[in-house]
Amino acid sequence: MIKLIIYVGLGVWGLRSLFAQARPGREMNVAQSAIYWAALRWETDPQKLLAMAAVFDQEGFTPQASALRKRSALEQVSHEQHAARQAALRKALASTDPQAVKTLAAAFEGEGLGDSAQLLHAWARGLEGGRGVHFVPAPPVKRDASASGENTEGATESPPSPPQENIDVNTDRGAL
């Protein structure tokens, strides 16, 4: 317990030093952002989260402080609310609408669900990237027929690709 208090104290002191010249309304710098996201994704100790939230709040980063506070209380969230969030996450991972996914990611961040939010941000980036990608037939692999024991000329060629189905991320499968 004493160790925990010391670690939290040192952490708060370190954060205060980091924020010494921060001003309300300004964007977080790289180091502040890294600390915030590490806490929002991986920290599960409510005491540490509340201590960090207090520092972020004091320095004017109110939305971030709020997210950290909500994360500190995640264990008290009702079963129904967890189930609704799980359903929303599932739906987002089947969605092909990057804007809708980004909106949910932002909502998750605000609720203190940092790792889920990061997954959705990556998913949205993937959807945006996949939109500009067009089908290209993959080349067949040349295999040594004698090594595989197969005997036929032309066995090195793959059969022609069937028409592409069900894998076009441009297809709208329904927004969130």
Partner 1 sequence: MTPQNEQYERAVSVAKRARAGDQNAMGMIEQIRINAQGGNQLAQSSHGMISNWLKENPAEGAPVRFSGEVASSLGMLKDPEIEPEVLLGILCGLPLSGDMKAIDAAICLLSFGHPVNTKRIGVIQSAIPTPLKPAFDFGLANASDARQLTPLGSRLSPVEIGHLCAGHTLGTARRIQLARAPGQSVNILGADIGWEMGC
In the complex, the smallest distance separating the C-beta of residue 2 from partner 1, rounded to whole angstroms, is: 27
Determine the interface stretch with partner 1 among 2-10, 46-54, 60-68, 114-122 (rule: CB under 8 A).
114-122
Among 1, 2, 147, 167, binds partner 1 (CB under 8 A): 167
Note whether 124 and 105 are within 8 A (CB).
yes
- Exposure string of 113-138, with b = 16+ CB inside 10 Å and e = fewer, is bbebbbbbbebbeebeeeeeeeeeee
Q: Read off the tokens for 122.
A: 């990556």
Q: Read off the tokens for 67.
A: 């997210």
Is 74 exposed, middle or buried (CB count within 10 Å of its CB: 0-12, 13-18, 19+)? middle
Which residues from 134-153 bind partner 1, rule CB under 8 A? Answer: 134-141
Note whether 15 and 29 are within 8 A (CB).
no
In the complex, the smallest distance separating the C-beta of residue 64 from partner 1, rounded to whole angstroms, is: 17
Site string for partner 1, 28-57 (x = CB under 8 A): -xxx---------xx-x-------------
Site for partner 1 contains 79 (CB under 8 A)? yes
Site for partner 1 contains 122 (CB under 8 A)? yes
The Cα–Cα gap between 101 and 93 comes to 8
In the complex, the smallest distance separating the C-beta of residue 85 from partner 1, rounded to whole angstroms, is: 6
Among 50, 89, 107, 145, binds partner 1 (CB under 8 A): 89
Question: Residue 13: enclosing H or E segment and its boundaries?
Answer: helix 2-18
Footprint of partner 1 on this chain (CB under 8 A)? 20-22, 26-27, 29-31, 41-42, 44, 71, 74, 77, 79, 82, 85-86, 89-90, 93-94, 112-116, 118-119, 122-123, 125-141, 158-159, 161-162, 164-169
